[in-house]
Every structure is written in C-alpha cells, then in structure tokens.
Amino acid sequence: MAATLTRSWLGRAWRAEQRSTMATAASLVGSEWRRELTKAMQAAPPGAAGRSPFRLSMQVKGSDEAALGTLHLAAAAPLSSSRPGNGGMRLWSYVSGTAAETEASKLALGMEIKHASFNTGFSGAKLVCAAEQPIEAWSGDDKQRLMDAAACMLTELDGAMFTGCDMNTTTEDMDYLAERCPFVLAAVGNPSCCPNAATAHGVLGALDATFSGEVSGKRFVVHGCGNVGRTVALGLVERGAEVLTVDLDAARAALPGCKMLDAGGEWWATPCDALVPCSASGLLTAERAGQLQCEAIVGATNLPFASEEAQAVAERELGITFVPEGITSAG
C-alpha cells in the first residue's frame, strides 16, 4: 500500500519534564496526586518550542481511491522493540486534522501514565483515525481498508507498537488485523476474554473503591452505553445501585434495571453520587463542569475534561473527586 509516513520526535527536555511530573504525582497524598496526574494527562505537547511526540501519519483510501481518513500514531516517547508502545485504535470524526493530532498526542500521554502506573513495560501510544466521512457511513470494506493501513504501519515499526480496540473499533476488527500482522493485543484468539469487559470491570472496581465498597443505593449517571458503558451500567445495577443511562443511540441506553436520560438534555447537571463517563473525550466543558451535581467522576473516558479550566472548576471550585482514567480504565 502506497503511503507517506511523516515522523517527529519528542525532545529530551520535555520527556524529562513529563517524567518529573509523574514522579511528583506518585509522591503526593490525598487528592493532590489526582490533580498532578491529570494535569500531566491534559498537557498538550509544547509545539511552540518545536517539540512534539513521536508521530506517524498515513492516508487511508477506499476502494474508489477516495480518502476515508488519516491514520495517526502518536507516542509519548520514541518507540523501540525493547520498549514498544501500546494503545488502542480510535476511529472518530474531528473538526480538523490538527484536532485529531492533538487528541492523539494527549491520549498517548494518558497511555504512558497507565503503563507507568501498572508497570507493564510498555510505552504510551495511540492510533487515531480521523474519518473524512461520517463513521456510520463506513462499510465493512472501509473498515477492512483501515485495518490494512494499520497493518502496514505496524509492520513498518516491526514490533515497536502494539494496538487494540478503542472507540468504533471492535474485537472483530482486531481479529482481522491480527491476521495481517502480529502486533495486536486485544484478547485475540481467546474468546473467553473480552478487553472491553476488562476495561469495564476496572471502572467498577474504581467505583467500589471510591465509595468504600458501598455503591448499593447510590445514584450513578453512565454516559455512553457501548461495549464498556453497558457492562459498567449493568454491573452497577447488580450491585444494587440506581443507574441512569445516556447515549446518542437510545436503544443502547435502554438497559434492564436502568432509567434513560435524554441525550439532548443537560444530563451532566443530573444530581447523582457519581458521573461515569464512558464515551467521547472532551465531554465536560468549563460551563458544563460548573453545573455538575455529583460527588465524584469515575469512568472509562479518556480525557473527559475539555480543558484544564473545566477540570479546575469541577475539582477546586466544586470539590468533586475525579479519579483519572489512567487508573480507572486500564483494564
């Protein structure tokens, strides 16, 4: 497959700064560690200084040679087979190519923190495909062409990057990808293990910990009822919680034992014990954060806050406990 690959490398000074930030977070107690950890995850790469994370970009074309999108790989540090990168493959529509690259870089840093927190031996990285057309219009052939492009990119890296599922990519997609390259980590070949369920149970464990094992009788708003959110919502129902669900697809939100909220309404302002975001990044703007009526935010969403300002409103002004996704959604 013909492709143009572009690369840029993270400067040593910025890498040292990020390692210092994460080390500081690890030494703090109480809620301060959460603030420092999420500050590092929200930090954008200092483009003004001419430094940015390692990146690859590849155009993905359909059968008619029309552009389907651009596949971006971002990593928090230079990748190698001795310390390969790992992060899921996200398919999403962005307002611009710059927005896609920026989110990929932030997600890669979030993965770096996840891997460092759990000492996996991987470096943080992420694959993001910025779709040129609405995702719901993608055909099965289009999806396969994306996987073919990813296989080309991963093969070029020769063991320096491994990927798996993320938003709008499935275990079936990963099965297809695994047939074309060996650089997939998504429970491939193990039908008894679902990576989405593993992520969901990590969120459930974080909720149990946040409420000292007493979630029964508490009220939770689960935003996003896809592969992860569905399992989280049903798991909370099993634990005796009151669960309110929100999804742009009302059929997905119609889960046994749950009450649906209007996805077009101000779901974020619903009084609850915890907001559980399991959908897209950047859900909580500063304005929305100011209207929150919850005790905690604990979910699977990567980068749930749209900005540092939004996070500060929630944590510092309203005193809401935010458990970073680097802890909650590691699976």
- pLDDT, tens digit, 9 for 90 and up, residues 178-224: 999 999 987 656 677 788 888 999 999 999 999 999 999 999 999 99
Q: How far is CA 98 from CA 102, 105, 248, 318, in A?
A: 6, 11, 26, 32
Region for 64 from its dihedrals, namely left if φ exceeds 0, alpha if ψ lies in -120 to 50, beta otherwise: alpha
Range with top average pLDDT, 33-42, 58-67, 90-99, 111-120: 90-99
Per-residue pLDDT, 190: 66
Which residue in 118, 127, 199 sits closest to 162, CA to CA? 127
- Predicted pLDDT of residue 118: 86
| Beta-carbon count within 10 A of 305 CB | 27
What is the per-residue pLDDT for 148? 96
CA distances for 26 relative to 37, 113, 145, 323, angstroms: 8, 11, 42, 14
pLDDT at 187: 64
Instruction: Find tokens 């690369």 and name the residue.
Output: 7
Q: How far apart are CA 162 and CA 118, in angstroms?
A: 17
Tell how far CA 212 is from the center of its chain: 25
CA-only gyration radius of the chain, Å: 19
State pLDDT tens for residues 126-150: 999 999 989 999 999 999 999 999 9
pLDDT value, residue 173: 94
| Cβ pair 99, 123 in contact under 8 A | no
Q: Which residue stretches of the chain are H helix?
A: 12-27, 32-42, 97-118, 140-157, 171-178, 195-210, 227-238, 250-253, 286-289, 308-312, 325-328
- pLDDT tens across 229-275, in order? 999 999 999 999 999 999 999 999 999 999 999 999 999 999 999 99
Highest mean pLDDT among 61-70, 239-248, 319-328: 239-248
The answer to which of 84-88, 171-175, 183-187, 303-307 has the lowest mean pLDDT is: 183-187
Is residue 23 over pLDDT 60?
A: no
State the pLDDT confidence band at 25, using cuts at 50, 70 and 90: very low
Distance CA 302, CA 330 (A): 10
pLDDT band at 3 (very low <50, low <70, confident <90, very high): very low
In the predicted structure, residue 74 carries a pLDDT above the cut 90: yes
- pTM for the full model? 0.73
